[in-house]
Amino acid sequence: MSDDQGGLSERDLAVLALERMSWPGPGAKERAVRERLGITPTRYYQLLNALLDDPRALAHDPVTVNRLRRLRDERRERR
C-alpha cells in the first residue's frame, strides 16, 4: 500500500469514494454498496462510522469526513 493513501485499506478508500458520489434515487446507493463492495448496507454504515473517527480518513478526505461528521452530530442532537 502506498503512503499517499494514509494507511487506509482499499475498502476504506472505496467507502469514502462512495460517500463522495450523489445518488439518483432510493436504493441506488445500497445497490452500489452490495455490487462494488460485496457487503451489506448495514456493514457499510458500520465501517463508515468507524472511518469518521479515524484521523487517517480525515487526512485523506477532509471535506467528505467533516461533512459526514456534521450530519452525524446533527442526527445525534435530534435524538
pLDDT in tens, 28-76: 999 999 999 999 999 999 999 999 999 999 999 999 999 999 999 999 8
pTM, entire model:
0.84
**In the block, which residue shows the cell 435530534?**
78
- Cα→Cα distances 37→13, 68, 75, Å: 11, 20, 26
Backbone angles phi, psi at 8, to 5 degrees: -80, 145
pLDDT band at 2 (very low <50, low <70, confident <90, very high): very low
pLDDT band at 5 (very low <50, low <70, confident <90, very high): low
- What are the tens digits of pLDDT across the range 9-31? 999 999 999 999 999 988 999 99
